[in-house]
Amino acid sequence: MIPDSAVRLAHLIRTGELRAQEVVEYFLHRIKEKDEQLRAFITVCEKEALAQAQALDKGAPARQGLLAGVPVAVKDNIVTRGIRTTCASRILENFYPPYEATVVEKLKRAGAIIIGKTNLDEFAMGSSTENSAFFPTRNPWNLDCVPGGSSGGSAAAVAAGEVPLALGSDTGGSVRQPAAFCGLVGLKPTYGRVSRYGLVAFASSLDQIGPLTRSVEDCALLTQVIAGQDHRDSTTAAQPVPDYLTELAQPLTSLRIGLISGELLEGIDPEVGTAFERIINYLEKEGAQFEEIEFSSWKIALPCYYVIAPSEASSNLARYDGVRYGFRDQKVNQLRAMYEKTRTKGFGPEVKRRIILGTFALSAGYYEAYYGQATRARHLIAREFSSALKKVDFILTPTTPEPAFRFGAKADPLAMYLSDIFTVTANLAGVPAISIPVGMTKEGLPIGLQIIGDFFQESQLFRLAFLLEKKVEFRKEYNKII
Amino acid sequence: MASKIIDLDHVCLLAALRLTEKEKEELAPQLEKIVEWVRQIAQVDLSPTEEAAYPAVDFPAPMRADVVQSSFGVEEALSNAPERDKEFFKVPQVIEGKE
| pLDDT tens-digit map of A9-49 | 999 999 999 999 999 999 999 999 999 999 999 999 999 99
Q: Do A370 and B38 touch (CB under 8 A)?
A: yes
- For residue A208, name the pLDDT band (cuts at 50, 70, 90): very high
Nearest to A325 among B44, B46, B80 (CB): B80
Question: How many structural domains is chain B composed of?
Answer: 1
Task: Give the distance from residue A233's alpha carbon to the nearest chain B alpha carbon, in angstroms.
Answer: 10
Mean pLDDT of A461-480: 95
pLDDT digit string, tens, across residues B72-81: 899 999 999 9
Task: State which residues form the domain around B19.
Answer: 1-39
CB contact under 8 A, B44 and A300: yes
- Chain A hits for B15, CB-CB cut-off 8 Å, are 314, 343, 355-356, 359
Q: Please say if the pLDDT value at position B98 is more than 60.
A: no
pLDDT tens digits for range A253-280: 999 999 998 788 888 999 999 999 999 9
CA distance B11 to B13: 5
Pairing relationship of beta strands A394-398 and A71-75 according to DSSP bridges? unpaired
Q: Does the pLDDT of residue B57 top 70, yes or no?
A: no
pLDDT confidence of residue B4: 73
At A482, the pLDDT band (50, 70, 90 cuts) reads low
Q: Is the pLDDT of residue B99 over 70?
A: no
pLDDT at position B62: 72
pLDDT bucket at A339, cuts 50 / 70 / 90? very high
- Residue A211's DSSP bridge partners are A167
Active-site hit among A150, A169, A215, A459: A150
Residue B2 predicted with pLDDT over 60: no
| Adjacent-strand bridge partners of A301 | none
Question: A27-44 burial string, b = 16+ CB within 10 Å, else e?
Answer: bbebbeebbeebbbbbbb
pLDDT reported for residue B47? 80
Contact call for residues A58 and A19 (beta carbons, < 8 A): no
The predicted structure's pLDDT at residue B79: 96
Per-residue confidence band for A373, with pLDDT thresholds at 50, 70 and 90: very high
A204 part of the active site: no
Question: A376 at the B interface (CB within 8 A)?
Answer: yes
* Nearest residue of chain B to residue A231 (CA atoms): B64
Average pLDDT of chain B? 86
Percent of chain A with pLDDT over 70: 100
Q: Kindly tell me if the per-residue pLDDT of A296 is higher than 90.
A: no
Min Cα–Cα distance to chain A from B74, Å: 11
Q: Which amino acid is at A393?
A: D
What are the two backbone dihedrals, phi and then psi, of residue A221, each rounded to the nearest 5 degrees?
Answer: -60, -45
What are phi and psi for residue A359, nearest 5 degrees?
-60, -40
Tell me the CATH number at B4: 1.10.20
Q: Does A455 touch chain B (CB under 8 A)?
A: yes
Q: Check A75, A106, A188, A410 and give the catalytic one.
A: A75
CATH number of A6-254+452-480: 3.90.1300.10
pLDDT band at residue B85 using 50, 70 and 90 as cut-offs: very high
The pLDDT > 90 percentage for chain A reads 93
pLDDT at A424 over 90: yes
Please tell me which of the candidates A307, A357, A372 has its beta carbon nearest to residue B51.
A372
Q: Is the pLDDT of residue B93 over 80?
A: yes
For residue A309, pLDDT beyond 70:
yes
Q: Are A306 and B34 a contacting pair at CB < 8 A?
A: yes
Check if A309 contacts B (Cβ < 8 Å).
no
Report the amino acid identity of residue A343.
Answer: R
Give the model's confidence band at B97: pLDDT under 50 very low, under 70 low, under 90 confident, else very high.
low
Cα–Cα distance list, A424 to A171, A223, A272, A445 (Å): 8, 21, 19, 23
- Cβ distance A373 to B46 less than 8 Å, yes or no, reads yes
- A294, pLDDT greater than 80: yes
The pLDDT of residue B15 is above 70: yes
| Residue range A426-447: mean pLDDT, rounded | 97
Inter-residue contact A183 to A474 (CB < 8 Å) = yes
A324 neighbourhood in chain B, CB within 8 Å? 77, 80-81, 89
The predicted pLDDT at position A264 comes to 86
Res. B56: pLDDT tops 70: no
Q: What is the mean pLDDT of chain A?
A: 96
pLDDT on residue B51 = 76
Separation of alpha carbons A349 and B77, rounded Å:
30
Instruction: Report the distance separating Cα A139 and Cα A406, nearest Å.
Output: 10
Which residues in chain B have their CB less than 8 angstroms from residue A359's CB? 11, 14-15
8 Å CB contact of A190 and B11: no
Query: What is the mean predicted confidence (pLDDT) over A436-440?
Result: 98
Measured between CB atoms, which of B15, B39, B94 is closest to A335? B94
Digit-coded pLDDT (tens) for A95-119: 999 999 999 999 999 999 999 999 9
For chain A, which residues make up each domain, given as ranges? 6-254+452-480
- One-letter amino acid for residue B13 of the chain: L
Q: Which of B15, B18, B83 sits opposite A355 (nearest CB)?
A: B15
Q: Which of B44, B60, B91 sits opposite A296 (nearest CB)?
A: B44
Examine the residue annotation and report whether A174 is marked as an active-site residue of this protein: yes
Interface of A with B in 456-475 (CB under 8 A): 456
- What residues form DSSP beta bridges with A80? A83
Q: Closest Cα to residue A72, out of A36, A104, A40?
A: A104
